[in-house]
Structure 1
Amino acid sequence: MHLLAHRGCTWQQPENTLAAFASALALGFTGIETDVRWSLDGEAILYHDRLSPRGQAVAALTRKELSHQAGFIVPSLSEALDAFPDAFWNIELKTPAGLPSILSTLSKVQDKTPILASSFYHPLIQEAANTLSTYLGLLFASRPLSLNTLLEISNASPKIKTLIWNFEILDPSFIDEARRLGFAHFVYGAANEIEHEWCRKLAIDGIITDYPEWVGLGSAPCWQ
């Protein structure tokens, strides 16, 4: 099972920063889940929220301006990939903005750095399938009505072979059926020891978590 730190280990460091990533990897996580957005000055930056701490659209701020508001240096996608080339990266694409440049950055390192590009905005991953040869995944906050949805995905974009589920909508029978179609499964949102153990029993391929102690990596949570 891939063990991915959700936005890094933020117990002592701000989320989605190089320091948070380094802390998570030092604890023993095999990879990092992070979020990429596009800044006003044309940089792929790692920041989760749509709005800054002052309520401004992140897309309307330069990286320097956003860093000033956040109180820490917001890293770029390139900086993070260069700093930790051996980590398994789950890169969540938040918006269509800057997509060609972001995909170009990922394509330059995909042969040496394991990457799972994912999004709730599924057309972005369909577009990524035209450019990338790395792992591609779809994020789900609700369960598809039927396997026909997955069949349509598989037929339209055969490269998309990973599904990333909110823990709350895990359906063991659906997962088994999707696995027979060739899909791997990751989970985010497990919030206690029992939920993490259930993920293991379901033979989930990867878990995105804030809790190193419940995946055998430490005694302190990663969240602030």
Structure 2
Amino acid sequence: MHLLAHRGYHASHPENTLDAFAAALKLGFEGIETDVRVSADHEPVLFHDRVAPSGEPVAALTRKQLSDVCGYTVPTLVEALNAFPNTLWNVEIKTPAAASVALPLLSHFEDSHRLLVTSFRHEVVLAAAELLGADCGLLCAHRPAAINSLLHAVMPHRNLRTLVWDCEIVDPDILRQANALGFRNAVYGAKTAYEHQLMREFGVHTVITDYPQHVGLRPA
């Protein structure tokens, strides 16, 4: 089972920063999940929330302005990939605008890096699967009544074979159906030791977590 640090290890460092990524890898995580938005000066910044701490939209701020209001340097996608090349990167693209900036950049890294490109915006994932040879995946916050309805559009794309589920809505039946159709399952959002163990018992391919202690990685 692959273990990815959700936005890095951010118990002691701001999330989605180079320090948080370094701390996660030092703990023993195989890879990092991070979020890409686009700033007002067209930089692919690693930032989760739509709105900055100042109450302004991230998209309305330059990278420097965003860094100033956050109190730390907000890294770019390229900086992170260059800093940690021997890492499995799950790059979540938050918006179509971010995709227009991030996908061409990712095309320069797909031969040298292990990448999984995901989004809740499934049209963004389809675009990524067409442009890139890297692995791509659908982020799923709902449990579909029928998995075929979710997967119909993605079947022609051989590099789009990962489903990333919210822990709260996943169950063994949907995982088995996905596996039978050739899809790998990843899960995010597990909080307790019990939930992490349950994901292991379900046989998920990847766990994206904020809690290293629940997956056998112990902070110093």
CA distance in 2, matches of 1:197, 1:124: 32
CA deviations on 1:103-129 (whole Å, 9 max, x unpaired) are 111111111110100000100001111
Once the two structures are TM-superposed, the CA of residue 101 in structure 1 deviates from its matched residue by 2.7
Task: Point out the more displaced range, 196-205 or 73-82.
Answer: 196-205
Which residue matches 1:66? 66
Once the two structures are TM-superposed, the CA of residue 163 in structure 1 deviates from its matched residue by 0.3
CA deviations on 1:181-222 (whole Å, 9 max, x unpaired) are 0000000010111110111111111000011111111057xx
SS in 2 for 1:109: coil
CA distance in 2, matches of 1:19, 1:215: 21
CA contact (8 A) 2:129 2:135 kept: no
CA distance in 2, matches of 1:58, 1:137: 25
Which residue matches 1:161? 161
CA contact (8 A) 2:42 2:101 kept: no
What's the TM-score, normalizing by structure 2?
0.97
CA distance in 2, matches of 1:157, 1:70: 39
After TM superposition, list the pairs within 5 Å mapping 1:125-136 onto structure 2.
Answer: 125-136=125-136
Q: Give the 4+ runs in structure 1 shifted more than 6 A.
A: none
CA contact (8 A) 1:185 1:204 kept: yes
CA distance in 2, matches of 1:153, 1:162: 14
CA contact (8 A) 2:36 2:98 kept: no
CA distance in 1, matches of 2:201, 2:8: 25
Q: Which runs of 5+ in 1 are unaligned?
A: none
CA distance in 1, matches of 2:98, 2:47: 14
User: Share of identical aligned residues, percent?
Assistant: 50
CA contact (8 A) 2:193 2:214 kept: yes
Q: Which runs of 5+ in 2 are unaligned?
A: none
Which residue matches 2:32? 32
CA distance in 2, matches of 1:23, 1:29: 9
After TM superposition, list the pairs within 5 Å mapping 1:25-174 onto structure 2.
Answer: 25-174=25-174
CA distance in 2, matches of 1:58, 1:101: 15
Once the two structures are TM-superposed, the CA of residue 59 in structure 1 deviates from its matched residue by 0.2
Task: Point out the more displaced range, 158-167 or 24-33.
Answer: 158-167
Q: Which amino acid aligns with 1:11?
A: A
CA distance in 2, matches of 1:219, 1:94: 29
Which residue matches 2:10? 10
